[in-house]
Amino acid sequence: MQHSPIPTPRGRPVIGHLAEFKKNSLDCMIRWHHEWGDIVNFRIFSQNFYLLSHPDLVEEAMTEQQDVFLKMYNPQKPRGLQLFMGQGLVTSTGQLWSQQRRLLQPVFQRRNLLTLLPEMEKAGAQLLARWRTFEPDAKVDISGEMLHLALEVLTRTMFSTSVLDRVDVIAPALEVCLRYAAATVLSPLDPPLWVPTRRNREFKRALATLDQIIYGMIDERKANPGQYNDLLHLLLSSTDPEAGTGMSRRQLRDEVITLFVAGHETSANVLTWTLYYLARYPEAMTKLRAELREVLNGGIPNGDQLDQLPYTKAVLFEAMRLKPAVALMIRKVARDTRLQNYSLKAGSLAMVSIYNIHHHPELWENPEAFKPERFLGQKASKYTFLPFGIGPRFCIGNQFATMELTLLLAMLAQHFDFALCDEQEPEHDMAVTLRPKGGLKLRVRPATSVL
């Protein structure tokens, strides 16, 4: 069968497309999709990449050829998130991944997650109380506020404790690790970690800070087991149904730090973008408040009521469509293969652009518009809406995230109004997760009528 050539933007000698891609990787991928189509070939130094921006390509690669499009992990030469998340569920592969998935699956059952709602509520109540001390129409960095809120939710549900006194240490350490991890994927010629460059030393210090905090909490719990109702207790109690064994101290550390990153960074960004769109589209806030008034009457949703808020969830899903927290998935092409009529080379990296798929004009009517109604009464195809990934590695924490986000949005929207400080849409900043560049300020004022 004759193969179609894969469109390739013009690059530079030696470095290929590095300069253009590194300047703003997301905007670059958006532009290439508009100009070149659903599959694009590009190069950074000697590393070849394929950008995939259509669900048919994703289905073929991630489902029909999942033995070819593999998660990257080389314990001898780790890159990206593996550098600080180790072999947690997001980064591990093969038999270890299967074992960890079996261990973690029972932890995230709905009945366990419902018991964590009171801790999520406490974190939300703390934020509301602090915001009530602000001057009316205060300009608030919503991005930073949601980051702290998500960290507080995670540590309360993970460790039954608060970290508000340590946020100024934990948040910068996570930021350094995330940015360093993203850079190693795009810059294969950067010096290895053992070379004492400024960036390497900064990364090692940040990693040591996180390890000290996480190992400290794990060791303290093991020394004083007691009765706890949190995720760490469930992790410590979990045993592999096949092997009958639990997790080692290192495995626990890797899974905890994986939940730290996946559980707070993504939730923070979803809430940030959601509040931005509610400020930009006040008619959506009016509809949201009407639903909250009818179902909650000013209260805080319990487990049953969370399932009675379809428009609230639609608002969140539409924000996740427009600004997916994880905008990109990367897989290594294990051997020469084909997708449709295109030939792909072994050793290349395939980038699945969730952002481009979520904005694809063939898949979504008026794709740039914020229309929560898209998610009412019908379910989007699993290959066109990918906020939690796809296939066997579908995010294990999707129920936790949906509960958390729905609860916190219901609490915030009932008590506060949000208005734009700037009519211009924020620039994108993609350091593993998609966030507004330089933060995002909104005017925050108490709601004119509390529900």
Encode pLDDT of 376-402 as tens digits: 987 777 789 999 988 777 888 899 999
Alpha carbon distances (Å) from 242 to 101, 105, 289: 12, 13, 48
Entry field: residues in the chain: 451
Threshold 0.85, pTM exceeds? yes
Q: CA 145, 148, 152, 158 torsion: positive or negative?
A: positive
User: Average pLDDT in the 83-89 region?
Assistant: 87
Share of the chain above pLDDT 70, in %: 97
Rg (CA), the chain: 22
Nearest to 179 by CA among 439, 435, 442: 435
pLDDT band at 443 (very low <50, low <70, confident <90, very high): very high
229: tokens are: 């109702």
**Tens digit of each residue's pLDDT (9 = 90 or more) over 116-138:** 999 999 999 999 999 999 998 99
How would you classify the pairing of strands 47-52 and 349-353? parallel
Mean pLDDT, residues 44-60: 95
What mean pLDDT comes out for the span 38-64? 95
pLDDT in tens, 310-366: 999 999 999 999 999 999 999 999 999 999 999 999 999 999 999 999 999 999 999
SS3 content of the chain, % helix, strand, coil (to 5): 50, 10, 35
| pLDDT (mean) for 177-198 | 80
State which amino acid sits at residue 316.
L
Please give the distance of CA 418 from its chain centroid, rounded to a whole number.
Answer: 24
Mean pLDDT score, 72-100:
82
pLDDT band for 113, please (50, 70, 90 cuts): very high
DSSP bridge partners of 198: none
Domains and CATH numbers, the chain: 18-439 (1.10.630.10)
pLDDT of 451: 46
Q: Answer for the pair 441, 140: CB distance below 8 angstroms, yes or no.
A: yes
Average pLDDT along the chain: 90
Q: Which residue has the higher pLDDT, 389 or 6?
A: 6
Whether 422 has a pLDDT exceeding 90, the answer reads: no
Helices 398-415 and 282-296, axial angle in degrees (round to 10): 100
Instruction: Round to the nearest angstrom and report the end-to-end CA distance of the chain.
Output: 64
pLDDT the model gives residue 364:
95
Q: Angle between the 282-296 and 266-280 helix axes, to the nearest 10 degrees?
A: 110
Q: Is the pLDDT of residue 27 over 60?
A: yes
Distance CA 52, CA 328 (A): 10
**pLDDT one-digit tens code per residue, 265-311:** 899 999 999 999 999 999 999 999 999 999 999 899 999 999 999 99
